[in-house]
A and B are shown apart, each in its own frame.
Chain A
């Protein structure tokens, strides 16, 4: 089965800096990979999706990369703000490729704290 590792349980950075979170997986490369944000006491909220044939995706201050050779995705938040403090989860689709299976495996998450 697919195993997912997110580089660290916690990451502290200074406001204004770029936060970089890592998601590594074993076995086959998934059809796509997603990133979610989870605030305390709430359910995860979808942020971005990147497909196996895409190298990079951007959304406002967020950037995601996907390297199927390294079996790794990087999630960047530029010009970080205290409001970005949350836990960030990566999630992989079970299927090899194509449309996907719609069934996700989640990493344990990285808790990001942005210090003013």
Chain B
């Protein structure tokens, strides 16, 4: 398996623009997580899905953020409108805890977002 795939790897946009981040989890994993990492706040969970259903979105900063998982192999995180404080590295991770006693989360390479 290629692992968790994220695109784009880098995104530079201007304040007010819409940004869409994409994630393809590992095949067979039924949990998908979106995280944001900054120096100040570390790695923060934004939202996670189980079997394509959002379970907990309490980490989503505000209404400007939305996430979808239309099928088991694809998820998006959208920011509209984007603001400079959204600049961070966004990670997608997937796991299969029922098959993996370690409950290991597998992370993608991340998307580095810069909002000017």
Chain A residues near B (Cβ < 8 Å): 32, 34, 41-46, 49, 89, 93, 99-100, 102-109
Inter-chain contact B43/A44, CB cutoff 8 Å: yes
Closest Cβ neighbor of B92 among chain A residues: A43
Whole-angstrom distance between the alpha carbons of A73 and B43 in the complex? 19
Inter-chain contact B103/A49, CB cutoff 8 Å: yes
Inter-chain contact A43/B93, CB cutoff 8 Å: yes
Interface residues on B, range: 20 to 34
Inter-chain contact B42/A100, CB cutoff 8 Å: no
Whole-angstrom distance between the alpha carbons of A41 and B111 in the complex? 10
Inter-chain contact A49/B102, CB cutoff 8 Å: yes
**B107 contacts which of A44, A100, A103 (Cβ < 8 Å)?**
A44
Chain A residues with CB below 8 A from B4, complex form:
43
Inter-chain contact B42/A108, CB cutoff 8 Å: yes
Chain A residues with CB below 8 A from B110, complex form:
41-43
Chain B residues near A (Cβ < 8 Å): 4, 31, 33, 35, 41-45, 48, 50, 55-56, 91, 93, 95, 97, 102-110
Task: Name 19 extra pairs, CB < 8 A, besides A44-B107, A102-B48, A102-B97.
Answer: A41-B110, A43-B4, A43-B107, A43-B109, A44-B91, A46-B104, A46-B106, A89-B42, A99-B97, A102-B31, A102-B95, A102-B103, A103-B33, A103-B56, A104-B105, A106-B43, A106-B44, A107-B42, A108-B42
Whole-angstrom distance between the alpha carbons of A106 and B93 in the complex? 13
Whole-angstrom distance between the alpha carbons of A104 and B46 in the complex? 11
Chain B residues with CB below 8 A from A104, complex form:
45, 105
Query: In the complex, how many angstroms separate the beta carbon of B78 from the nearest chain A beta carbon?
Result: 20
Whole-angstrom distance between the alpha carbons of A41 and B44 in the complex? 17
